[in-house]
């Protein structure tokens, strides 16, 4: 009974969010069970381009460290904001969402060649949070019951929290930078005088991921209420 309930809930998670979070959890479990080691996963340009260990281009986005507070914190934010994007502004546009993953991953990998970062999953999470926050500017956030602010400040609050924990803010700055580039090219520049869409999802992705019909009875996760956790609770201003 419990298995059937879990399976049903699991299958209700949108496909991109389900695939990415599952891959992250399974990778961490494999490391915890010592089936693999982080040294086989981390981002190393020399091993990638000289020794053709191309899997590192993907696996460095799947490992968030050993199971602990930092891992759980990242998984909660990854799952929550990835799902809200997929069920919100990317609802019915799975191919566009996958293209954002590819674009963000390629850009972070390019930047990763010039900074000393070996795992980019946390930066990718911040990118997702940044895009969601800019597309929901009037949502009020409650961070651990201590700070109340509007959604666009969330990535910066997370960066400050990361700094308090003694982590490097370079990871957060990278995620914010890539998220801003995507948001500008996708949401801002096309609406400027003389602007246009520079990011176009390849037709092959649309053929693979987009379905011709949408379910009219689907009730998406409400983006305007990112609550459920003390640090992600919010409501619209004036609500």
CA atoms within 13 A on the CB side of 75: 20
Residue bearing the bigger pLDDT, 97 or 198? 97
Across 154-174, average pLDDT: 87
Secondary structure (3-state) at 28: helix
Q: In which band, very low, low, confident or very high, does the pLDDT at 2 lie, cut at 50, 70 and 90?
A: low
8-33 pLDDT, tens digit per residue, is: 888 889 999 999 999 999 999 999 99
Query: Is there a contact between 48 and 56 (Cβ–Cβ < 8 Å)?
Result: yes
Which pLDDT score is estimated for 119?
A: 92
Across 142-165, average pLDDT: 85
The Cα 9–Cα 29 span in angstroms is: 21
DSSP state string for 139-151: EEEEETTTEEEEG
Which pLDDT score is estimated for 117?
A: 87
74-93 pLDDT, tens digit per residue, is: 899 999 999 999 999 999 89
Closest CA to 120 of 107, 110, 132, 108: 108
CATH superfamily of 1-209: Rhomboid-like (1.20.1540.10)
DSSP symbol at 154: H
Two tokens at 196?
């246009």
Domain ranges, ordered by start, for the chain: 1-209
Q: Taking the model in full, what pTM does it have? A: 0.84
Residue bearing the bigger pLDDT, 107 or 231? 107
The Cα 98–Cα 95 span in angstroms is: 5
Q: Is the dihedral of CA 173, 135, 208, 10 positive or negative?
A: positive
Query: Is there a contact between 62 and 24 (Cβ–Cβ < 8 Å)?
Result: yes
At 143, give phi and psi (nearest 5°). -100, 105
Two tokens at 99?
């293209």
Average pLDDT, rounded, for the chain = 85
pLDDT at 175 over 80: yes
């Amino acid at each position: 009974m419990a298995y059937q309930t879990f399976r049903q809930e699991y299958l209700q998670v949108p496909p991109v969010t389900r695939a990415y979070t599952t891959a992250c959890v399974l990778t961490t479990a494999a490391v915890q069970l010592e089936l693999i080691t982080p040294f086989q996963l981390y981002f190393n340009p020399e091993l990638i381009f000289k020794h053709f260990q191309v899997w590192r281009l993907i696996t460095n986005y799947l490992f968030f460290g050993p199971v602990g507070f930092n891992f759980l914190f990242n998984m909660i934010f990854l799952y929550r904001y990835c799902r809200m994007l997929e069920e919100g502004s990317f609802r019915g546009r799975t191919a566009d969402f996958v293209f954002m993953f590819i674009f963000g991953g390629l850009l972070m990998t390019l930047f990763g060649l010039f900074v000393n970062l070996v795992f980019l999953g946390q930066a990718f999470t911040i990118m997702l949070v940044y895009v969601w926050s800019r597309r929901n500017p009037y949502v009020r956030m409650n961070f651990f019951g201590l700070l109340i602010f509007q959604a666009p400040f969330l990535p910066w609050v997370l960066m400050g929290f990361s700094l308090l924990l003694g982590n490097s803010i370079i990871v957060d700055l990278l995620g914010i930078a890539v998220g801003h580039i995507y948001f500008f090219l996708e949401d801002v520049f096309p609406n400027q005088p003389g602007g246009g869409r520079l990011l176009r999802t390849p037709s092959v992705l649309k053929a693979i991921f987009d379905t011709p019909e949408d379910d009219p009875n689907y009730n998406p996760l409400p983006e305007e209420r990112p609550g459920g956790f003390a640090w992600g609770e919010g409501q619209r201003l004036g609500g």
